[in-house]
Chain A
Amino acid sequence: MNNGCGSGSESCLSSMEEELHVLAVDDNLIDRKFLERILKISSCKVTTAENGLRALEYLGLGDPQQTNVMKVNLIITDYCMPGMTGFELLKKVKESSNLKEVPVVILSSENIPTRINKCLASGAQMFMQKPLKLSDVEKLKCHLLNCRS
């Protein structure tokens, strides 16, 4: 049974602990594998998607007929992806009445202020620099769980 923030330090979770279900979106296989592992080791349930379209399908936005919608507590997406960028995915999520409350975190290897501002202005919860470290994920979890409770 997973608990706490894993590092043995003061737990930042409330006593009503729920496992975060994260949808991780990245077109790069290595990054996807890395993201999946770093989230799992941080006690999250993880689903990965290799692009924005697949992510939307999983979230139930791809097909109006789809009734089986998976509940997701957090979307982490790479910014630079072919086809639909992470920014475009963010906007689609925020436009949806069902999903607009789901926090979206954007990841990018590039530290471009206009890009960051654009994402935050469109409702991104956070903008984080790749590559992620374990401590980044711990901080993110604490931030999100504190916002929720």
Chain B
Amino acid sequence: MDTLIAQLQRQFRDYTISLYHQGFLDDQFTELKKLQDECSPDFVAEVVTLFFEDCEKLISNMARALDQTGNVDFKLVGSSVHQLKGSSSSVGAKRVKGLCITLKECCDSQNYEGCVRCLQQVDIEYKTLKAKLQDLFNLEQQIVQAGGRIPQVDI
């Protein structure tokens, strides 16, 4: 008979594994988790929160630049996507990073349509990841509230 804690822990494990297998996260996220301990218990949550704020800001900057039809500042778009590519890489946001690489290529070749399409995808992708990580954090909280420990998940 399964306790609530065991059920939640299994859910957490399965969900974590699925995020890696579906390519939302890569092993850099694992590295991020290694940096969390008793001294810095909310480190991962803090960093991903900053990351999503960064996504919102940079995507907004790029959208505004692309809105200036006929006078698009591709340099600005390029530097913003470079920033976003860097942060997504550092936190292990694999799909977001991949889309940033594509967006950068569109930007470098001044492919306006490509940039617009790609930026839309980046926007969708970061929001999807944000929702999924929120679900994961919620599961963690439920486990802790039920008196259990968050399992170490080996990918």
Which residue numbers of A lie inside 8 Å of B, CB to CB?
28-31, 33-34, 37-38, 41, 80, 82, 109, 130-131, 133-134
Contact = CB atoms under 8 A, between A and B. Distances in A.
B35 A30 contact: no
B93 to A, nearest CB: 10
A19 B79 CA distance: 36
Interface in B26-45: 28, 31-32, 34-35, 37, 40, 43
B82 interface: yes
Contacts of B85: 109
B32 A34 contact: yes
Interface in B60-108: 79, 82-83, 85-87, 89-91
Given A29-B54, A34-B32, A37-B35, A130 B89 contact: yes
B23 to A, nearest CB: 17
A109 B47 contact: no
Which of B37, B51, B86 has the largest count of A CB atoms less than 10 A from its CB?
B86
Contacts of B90: 28, 30-31, 34, 130-131
Contacts of B2: none
Contact of B47 (A34, A41, A80): A34
Contacts of A130: 86, 89-90
B54 to A, nearest CB: 6
A130 to B, nearest CB: 7
24 contacts: A28-B87, A29-B50, A30-B54, A30-B87, A30-B91, A31-B86, A31-B87, A33-B47, A34-B35, A34-B90, A34-B91, A37-B35, A41-B34, A41-B37, A41-B40, A82-B79, A109-B85, A109-B86, A130-B89, A130-B90, A131-B28, A131-B89, A133-B28, A134-B34
